[in-house]
Structure 1
Amino acid sequence: MTTAHSPLSAPATAPLDAATLWQQDKDHFIHPFTDFSVFHEKGCELITDAEGIYVQDVHGNRFIDGIAGLWCVNVGHGRAEIGQAMADQATRMAYFSTFNNLSNAPAAQLAAKLADLAPDHLNHVFYTCGGSTANDATIRLVHYYFNRLGKPTKKRILSRRNAYHGTTYLAASLTGIESNNWEFDTLDQLVTHLSEANMYRRPEGMSEEAYCDHLVNELTATIDEIGADQIAAFIAEPIMGAGGVLVAPRGYHARMQQVCRDHDILYIADEVVTGFGRLGHVFASGEVFATQPDIINLAKGLSSGYAPLGATLISDRLYEVLGTPQGKGGVLSTGFTYSGHPVSCAAALKNIEILEREDLCANVREVGPYLEQALASLAHHDTVGDVRGSHFMMCIENVADKATKALFPVEARVGDRVAHEAQKRGLIIRPVGHLNVISPPLIWTRDTVDTAVEILDQALAATSASLRQDGYL
């Protein structure tokens, strides 16, 4: 594979044996979301270096990172000051327990910083190791909250089809992407999935306002059917991520929250993807969607992927109950060995400092609409059914027929084809079935957008040609 880009500066380490690494990886590493129909033969491409908006594979080929690692490397790759902050903390004190009335400085400082950045009513932080564990821990805390209030029947969680909330056991049950849970067990007795808010595939002829009414009415009907006394919370991504970058109709989130309020149902915002700048604000819930969640869950952009870290932000109202002793000797008996890990918290503090110092949210607000417009120009391709999203969270939906919105058969692997053609030309994007996701580092410029969209234009043209050759068009 060759690209038009030169290699990154080589690190001062021994050269890597590409063949040995490839074999070791294939023989021993069970990758998340492994496609075993191709993995046993092809293995994986090894990314070894990264700098700014670029990543580089073991062979020295350089690519524009169009997915920010996995929605998360918001401040860009190779930030030496984050590495130094982690090193300084690791050499000073790498780890000590935060159980039993012990703590550490970075965890305390980060909690205070998050409370300062968050909406005014969210002043308390429960640390986890990532997004899945944040969502998992949140539901456990929600159930505990209602138990403490003497409402033990309030257990059911409302989620949405095509939502993504993680892959730990309970988080996977919250996740509404059907293919994610093929042959896996889920806790169906705890979770009810409502319709996703999919503007592209809403009922034919239905206006945006009527579609919003339709979705809100579904929530109300579901509450009436199950009973509000059985429902603990509704969890929603402000914009659905892995489920297709689905932007809800205007007013949807505020109206859904109000229905929840009216029925004593907690409103949980999963901002694992949208938090820390992807939509141009540190938090999207209030600034973009006019909501005041009872809980906001964070990960990914919290540390820009430099260290594993998740967090659940808890409202003052909930903390008043959670923070009340159960009785003599009673403890809040949940948490993780690595809750508030000092090295991860040090990375997050420096990451937030960079985000603020360079005003990357402003960059997203300026460059994001340009990215939206540039990607919209790709709609002329005969396989592009929809280009959607907001700011630095975008998606292309590939279809076999634009008029009917019919999909290609799974075996056509259309999303993989587009991603492969883009990568051959120097851009990494993410295939998700028939979709392609673009979620770049927040340091992309207009020039980067121009280069990326030019590559995508070529990739989509090449994909159409290959689909015709193989009889799919």
Structure 2
Amino acid sequence: MTQQQAQASYDAQDLWQKDKNHFIHPFTDFSLFHEKGCDLITNSDGIYVEDVHGNRFIDGIAGLWCVNVGHGRAEIGQAMAEQATRMAYFSTFNNLSNAPATELAAKLAELAPAHLNHVFYSCGGSTANDATIRLVHYYFNRLGKPSKKRILSRTNAYHGTTYMAASLTGIASNNWQFDTLDLVTHLSEANCYRRPEGMSKAEYCDHLVDELEQTIERLGADNIAAFIAEPIMGAGGVLVAPQGYHSRVQAICRANDILFIADEVVTGFGRLGHFFASEAVFETQPDIINVAKGLSSGYAPLGATLISDALYEVLSTPQGPGGVLSTGFTYSGHPVSCAAALKNIEIIEREGICENVLEVGPYLESQLKTLASHETVGDVRGSHFMMAIENVANKTTKELLPVDARVGDRVAAEAQKRGLIIRPVGHLNIISPPLIWTRQVVDEVVAILNDAFAATTRSLKTDGYL
């Protein structure tokens, strides 16, 4: 069947209606959904996706931060099919294992910072973070320190939406009228664009570090188990901390027997030009690194928690008769997902995709910064293939537009009309493309965005918001 035949096999209206009637989408805006439903994406290839009507778009968000090697990679599909026909699934409980999970664990240990040699599998980023906190609490219980339960996170952090991960997440709108667990204390986000007036970035770093030290003193180090942070905040605004922030935070954690957890669900597997950004970019050596998304380039659900030798020594010591580490998932180390991840990593290495990010990433940054000429663009920030544009009503005061202006949605809609999908998050627009973009693609994208921001400014003025 050709792509055109596959496209024609869908009844667009029927599919749209079924989706609206039955599919509860993550983060659905029900003020719009009941009337508009969803745009249905049915085909993809390389850097492009296609909707049910045959409209073609440049994918500016890599599916959702994850399709790092691009769409339609036959090699990955073939690896998954071969594994599925050989053995689609068998339990990894009770001293059973499978070849892809074993090979992938060894490969992750090879790629990760040298002290991270042990892998606990889950099904995605949220479950990786949930599993991590359970293991951290177990670790301190095993050490005879049961009071060390509290987790330090940050305002506007995003760590997922399962119960514990949602509690770690510091984006207020994510948890509106949802309950969270009273185990997390949120520190200030590291937002250089909105740092206090007159404060240099170095002074701002001191300010954030002082807040951490004061929080530890207030709560008591004996009550704090871990600090968790994304190297660069993703959904919370692509916030890049001031230089030295992460390494200073790690040093304070070490001094207070607090574990340092890096959530590399977004930054891992090439988005910043390295398989892991923590050590290569931010000069830290976390006790735990969590990964998902780019681990399999989104071809199959998979998450992993990479654990240090020191933690593993405690976790792997039998706690009594039987010595069972009684946690895990039915799909921990799923062979088809692990086969996809192994082929994905092979492609990243063979094709020099990290090197492409290191070469094209700075060009993407510089070209996106030219959008600052538009009236509503207050800040263009990020690193390499992880970028955000913050829209404002006033560049001098950094005042935001009213929520009902839906400025991020407007920009995204104007871009989509012109053949580019980017992500709206409130007053922000996020660009996190497949890692195979070239300079020529960047030029095409920036031309589309120039037109999209100009059209957005006109519509905001017409509607009385500017």
Confirm or deny that 1:452 pairs with 2:445.
yes
Q: How does 1:276-295 map to 2 (within 5 A)?
A: 276-295=269-288
Post-superposition CA distance 1:60-86 (Å, at most 9, x none): 000000000000000000000000000
How far off its partner does 1:239 sit? Answer: 0.1
1:256 maps to a residue whose letter is: V
1:156 match: 150
CA RMSD of aligned residues (A): 0.8
Task: Look up the SS of the partner of 1:200 in the other structure.
Answer: helix
1:386 corresponding residue in structure 2: 379
TM-score (normalizing by structure 1): 0.98
* 2:399 equivalent in structure 1: 406
Name the structure 2 match of 1:472.
465
- In structure 2, what is the Cα distance between the partners aligned to 1:369 and 1:339? 37
Residue 12 of structure 1 and its aligned partner are, at CA, apart by 5.1
Query: Which residue of structure 2 aligns with residue 264 of structure 1?
Result: 257
Residue 217 (structure 2) aligned to one of 224, 229, 237 = 224
Matches within 5 A, 1:433-444: 433-444=426-437
Q: Could you tell me which amino acid in structure 2 is paired with residue 362 of structure 1? A: E
Question: How far apart, CA to CA, are the structure 2 residues paired with 1:453 and 1:264?
Answer: 46
Q: Which residue of 2 aligns with 1:126?
A: 120
Gapped regions of structure 2 (runs ≥ 5): none
Aligned to 1:426: 419
SS in 2 for 1:109: helix
Number of the residue aligned with 1:319: 312
In the other structure, the counterpart of 1:99 is: 93
Cα offset, 1:9, TM superposition? 3.9
Determine if contact 2:7/2:52 at 8 Å carries over to the other structure.
no
Report the Cα distance in structure 2 between the residues aligned to 1:325 and 1:114, rounded to whole angstroms. 25
Give me the whole-angstrom Cα distance separating, in 1, the residues matched to 2:146 and 2:9. Answer: 59
**In structure 2, what is the equivalent of residue 4 of structure 1?**
none
Q: Work out the percentage of aligned pairs sharing the same amino acid.
A: 81
Unaligned runs of 5+ in 1: 1-7
Deviation of 1:10 after TM superposition, in Å, equals: 2.8
- Aligned partners of 2:277, 2:363: CA distance in 1, in Å? 19
Q: 1:11 to 1:76 in 2, by over 3 A?
A: farther
TM-score by length of 2: 0.99
Q: What number of residue pairs does the alignment pair up? A: 465
Q: Are residue 209 (structure 1) and residue 194 (structure 2) matched? A: no
4+ aligned runs moved over 3 Å, structure 1: 11-14
- Output the amino acid matched with 1:137: A
Residues 11 and 274 of structure 1: CA distance in aligned 2, closer, same or farther (over 3 Å): farther
Q: Indicate if the aligned counterparts of 2:317 and 2:323 stay in contact, CA closer than 8 A.
A: no
Mapped partners of 1:209, 1:442: distance in 2: 31
Distance in 2, matches of 1:415 and 1:464, equals: 12
Task: Tell me what 2:239 maps to.
Answer: 246
Query: Would you say 1:56 and 2:50 are equivalent positions?
Result: yes
CA drift at 1:330: 3.0
Deviations 1:78-135 (A, max 9, x none): 0000000000000000000000000100000000000000000000000000000000
Shift of 1:11: 5.7
Distance 1:11 1:169, change over 3 A: farther
Q: Does residue 352 in structure 1 map to residue 319 in structure 2?
A: no
What is the correspondence of 1:176-191 to structure 2 with a 5 Å cutoff?
A: 176-187=170-181, 189-191=182-184
How far apart in 1 are the matches of 2:44 and 2:262? 31
Structure 2 distance, partners of 1:40, 1:122, is: 47
Give the Cα separation in 2 of the matches to 1:251 and 1:220.
16
1:74 corresponding residue in structure 2 = 68
